[in-house]
Each structure stands twice: as C-alpha cells, then as structure tokens.
Amino acid sequence: MFYKSGRIFSLGHTLIPVILFCLYGTHYRQPIILWLACLFLLWSFLLIYQAFFTSGLYSDKKKYWLPLVMDSILYAAIFTLPDWQGDYLVTWLVLFLVPIYAFELGIFSSLLLSLIHVIHLGLFHITQHTSFWSLNTLFTLCGVMMFMVLAGYSSEKLNKMANFDPLTMLPNRLLFRRYLNQALKEKSASRKLIAVLFLDLDRFKYINDTMGHLAGDELLMTVAQRIKEELPPQALLARLGGDEYTLLLPNIKHPDEAAAVSESIIRSLEQSIPIRHREVFITTSIGIALFPDDGKDTETLMKNADIAMYRAKEHGGSTYQFYAPPVNTSGIERIQMETMLRHALERDEFVVHYQPRIDADTGELVCVEALARWNHPELGMIPPKDFIPLAEDTGLVIPLGEQILYKACSQRKRWLDIGLPPFRVSVNLSPRQFRQKDLPQMIERVLKETRLSPEYLELELTESAAMQDVTYAEQMLNDLKRMLLTIAIDDFGTGYSSLSYLKKFPIDVIKIDQSFISGIHKNSDDAAIVKAIIALAHTLKLNVTAEGVETLEQLDYLKQLQCNEVQGYLIGKPMSTQTLNDWIEYEQYYKASK
C-alpha cells in the first residue's frame, strides 16, 4: 500500500460481503451470516473511503498491520460463528483476499495472510466437526499458494518497472511525486516543514562522454549510494533521470535541517570516486524549496526546487541555494505575469526584431542579431527586461527560445530566397537553454524544418553562462561547432577573468560589452582593456565585435584598434523585419550611388 493507491485492495474486499449475502439468501438463512456480511461491508466501505477520499489507504506505516488484523478477525468469525453444515464448504473464501494482498503488497504480506488462513481452516474444521485432512483443504491450500506466487511475483516485478529506476533501484519521478503528494496531504494541517531538494551533478556529461556510458552508470550508482548514506531516516531519494536526483525531507522543523543535509551531501561527493581504476571528482548543485512558503502543491515545489538548483549552478556549482522569488515582483504580479507569458507562447505574441552588425572597415552587413519582443494585444510592446528574467526563472525561456530560433531561421531563409546578401542571423542562448542536454538536437530539428543551412546561423552565449561549468561548456560548444554553426561569446569582459579559456572554447567571435565601449575615446582604462581584448582575439584568430557603438568617435577609435565588426545605435537600432528590409535596401542604394 506504499506503492499503490489501495483502490483495488479496498474494492476487492467488497466481494466477501456480496458472497455472504448470496449464501444467506440461497442456502444458509442464519442471522449471524447476515450480521457478518453487514460488518464486512462496513469494513469495506471504510477501506474505500480511505483509498478514494483521503491521503491513501493507511499511508501511515504504523497502521500497516490494521487491514491484516481486521481481515483475520473477520475471517475467523465467518468460519467459526455460523453453522456451515450443508452442500457448500466455504473454505474457498480464503482464495479471494490472497491475490488482492499479493497484488497490492507483494509476496511477503500474502504469505503472512496465507499462514493465518491455515489457522482459519483449522478453526473451521474444528468448529464444523469435519476433517482437516481432506481433498478440499488440499485444493484450497494449492490455490492459495498459486495465487500468492503468481500475483505476488508479477505485482512486485511490475511495481519495480513502473516505480523504480532500473539502474540505481531508487524511486523514479512517478513514485517520488506520489510520496510528495501523500506528504503534503498529511502535513497540510501541521506546522512542520517539508523540503524538496533537486540535485544535479556538475560535470557528469564530460565524464560520461570521455569515459563511456558504462563508467557513467557506475558513477551514478556510486553517487546514489553516497547520498543515501548522508540522509536522515525518513528521507526519500529518487532519480529523475540522467544525472538528476531529487530528495524529500518530509518532517523537518527548520530550514537549517535541509541546509545541513545539503552540506553533508556536497562534502560526501567532493571526495574522489574510484571508477575503472581511475579517480573521478564530481560535484553537485542543490536547489531547495520548502512547503508551505515556496509552494503548497507538488508541481510548484518541484518547479521552484529546480529553479533554485539552477541558481546554485549560477554560483559556480558545488553549493546549495534556497528558492527565492524575484525581488522586484510581488507574488500576485508574478503569477499574473507568468500566466500572461504562458498565454503569449500559446497565442504566438512574440515577435523578432533584428539589429544589424557590420564590418568596421567596409560597412558590409555581416550579421543581424535576433531579439525577442513581446507584442501584447492590450499592453503593447513589452521590453525584454520585463519578461526574460521571469521566463528564465519559470523555465518558459526554453519554449520561448525555441520559438525565437524558429522565427529567426525561417526569416533568414526567406531573405535568402529573395536574394539578400549572405549575412548570418545571430540568436541568443539563455543560461538555462545552454544547459539543455538536447540543445544540439533541437537546433538541428529547427534547421531541418526551416531548410536553413547552418552556415547562416550564429549562436550567442554570455561569458558568465559559459563559465558556470567550464567542462560542460567546452563539451557542449564542441557539439554545436560540429554542426558548422558560428559561436559567439556575448558581453565579454563582464563575467569572469576567463581569457585563459578562450583557447579551449571552439568560438569564432567575441563581443566586447558596451560598458567598455561607451568611454573608449575618453577613459584610458577602457581603451586599454578594449585594445588588449582585440589583440588577444586576433592572436587566437577570433573576430571581435564591439557592442553599443553610438558615436563616430567610438567607431573611428575602434577602426584604429582594428576591431572587426561593430554594432550599436550608430549602425542601427533593433528593428522589425520590414524596417530591416528597408534599411538593407537603403544601404545598398547608398553604396551603389557613391
């Protein structure tokens, strides 16, 4: 009853009073049989109520033995109190409950019930003055054993397949959600907290790809075992899939208890793990959501724990973070905005604007950056700063990013079809998108559907997103580069001191953040930084783009430093498709007339 709803168990019990009513109406007109049938029917109704209308059929482990005890007492009364002398021997009644117990609770419980039924058979033959050693008893016992083995074995096998991860034998997502639902129903009236922890291994993909999947599986099993050793007795650890685990702490008094468990798990995994005669080091990022503050239902708690886990990754990994809603948005405003955002995705309210990027020397258009804009039917154009952070927090940035990528690739294909110059379209990847394991497959699917050659697509990734997990970033960027895409690092110079990693990443373009460009012709420090970045990039054979170019003085200075490409309001603001078409036409006409 811990892995099933108990509904089949409760409904199966109604067979016994139905049979007793039938026996009373046909062969045995004894009031005691009618009373026993009514009593068993009331017991069945109680089980049905528990299974269908409460948190589950005796979900509390302390009540585990109550159904077995009650059934034993009722069966003993059925076999001993009435006078069963006649044409029918009711010993076969024991055959009804054994398969139900076996199906719901497995072989052990049905075996225990079977042993009790042997006692019931003995009581029956003693009170009815019949011989225990008879062919009827033998057939009954054989039926009990057959039902117990077949139903119990099949039930346990199906139960493991449906509810447990086949690699680690931990509960899977389905069973975890069931336990969490049950815990929420039990704790909804109490003041105790429930903590949901999401765990994601920081460097698993790199180890899995370099050492092989068998080594990866061995690592996952070892990690699961180490985590279990650090857990309190009532905790439940589950594997959601891949390198993601989730943990339920159903009975804590203070958030510090969840923090303490997280710290012990992180310390345990920081120790080396022997895999195939090699030492492997791996860390984990943990997100924590608490009931009732961070959510009162399963979906909200799991989603918020996931968000907190990603924030832990943003802090460099090997740490934990409690869920915290955005500081500048109240709860009601956030819910309203999230609802609007979901509807906007469904109603296709997002449009793409494009900002041109040109060659600093020739003025030729080399790329247009695709920028998401929300065209709300009532509020008008909503700026990205008002919805991108929320989309990132809620995970909606993934379907949003795919929509923008599809629109940008489709538009670039239309530009090719009408004969516009062979410039690239650049699409930004959010940190959460970049952590998608199936990101290359999604991009490949979009390119195939839009029939766009990958040489016309550029992906922009911020420096801070690339530096969250350098090993993972290197592997993912290599996967993307093998697709013949152009890779650009955006906002360069603002995230980390990462110049040494430029030679590791398979990138083509670095975009210097506009905060350095704004004062380049006035501030000697900004000028020195930009000059150093450009020189280093050229040494590594990378193109350099200067963002935020707004004046001719900035453009002239960047030309002197041999900056390859420039982008900013001096060149062109983000514009709609039609406006960009007019801009390109004007630029072509202007150059032809010179």
| Tens digit of each residue's pLDDT (9 = 90 or more) over 70-117 | 888 888 888 888 887 765 667 777 777 777 776 676 666 767 777 777
- Selection from 157, 56, 182 nearest residue 102 by Cα: 157
Average pLDDT in the chain: 83
Distance CA 142, CA 147 (A): 9
Distance CA 317, CA 182 (A): 31
With contact defined as beta carbons under 8 Å apart, do 551 and 569 qualify? no
Distance CA 298, CA 177 (A): 7
Check residue 1 and give its pLDDT.
39
Q: What percent of the chain has pLDDT over 90?
A: 28
More confident residue, 384 or 451: 451
Identify the band that residue 354 occupies on the pLDDT scale cut at 50, 70 and 90.
Answer: very high
- Structure-token pair, residue 135: 């062919």
- Selection from 77, 81, 111, 79 nearest residue 97 by Cα: 111
Check residue 88 and give its pLDDT.
61
Distance CA 201, CA 405 (A): 28
Q: CA dihedral in degrees (534, 538, 543, 545; nearest 10)? A: 10
Identify the band that residue 3 occupies on the pLDDT scale cut at 50, 70 and 90.
Answer: very low
Q: CA dihedral in degrees (502, 506, 508, 512; nearest 10)? A: -30
Residue 383 predicted with pLDDT over 90: no
Identify the band that residue 62 occupies on the pLDDT scale cut at 50, 70 and 90.
Answer: very low
Distance CA 171, CA 484 (A): 40
Cβ neighbours, 10 Å, residue 135:
7
DSSP bridge pairs for 237 = 247
More confident residue, 162 or 255: 255
The predicted model scores a pTM of 0.52
* pLDDT tens, position by position, 486-527: 999 988 876 554 556 667 789 999 998 888 888 787 778 888
Cβ neighbours, 10 Å, residue 244:
18
The residue count for the chain: 594
Distance CA 477, CA 488 (A): 10
Residue 370 predicted with pLDDT over 90: yes
With contact defined as beta carbons under 8 Å apart, do 439 and 473 qualify? no
Distance CA 500, CA 540 (A): 11
Check residue 146 and give its pLDDT.
66
117-121: average pLDDT: 77
Distance CA 503, CA 255 (A): 43
Lowest pLDDT segment from 51-60, 234-243, 274-283, 307-316: 51-60
Looking at residue 383, the DSSP 8-state letter turns out to be: P
302-324: average pLDDT: 84
What are the two backbone dihedrals, phi and then psi, of residue 2, each rounded to the nearest 5 degrees?
A: -85, -20
Identify the band that residue 4 occupies on the pLDDT scale cut at 50, 70 and 90.
Answer: low
Residue 563 predicted with pLDDT over 60: yes
Rounded (5°) CA angle 480-372-507: 25
With contact defined as beta carbons under 8 Å apart, do 426 and 369 qualify? yes
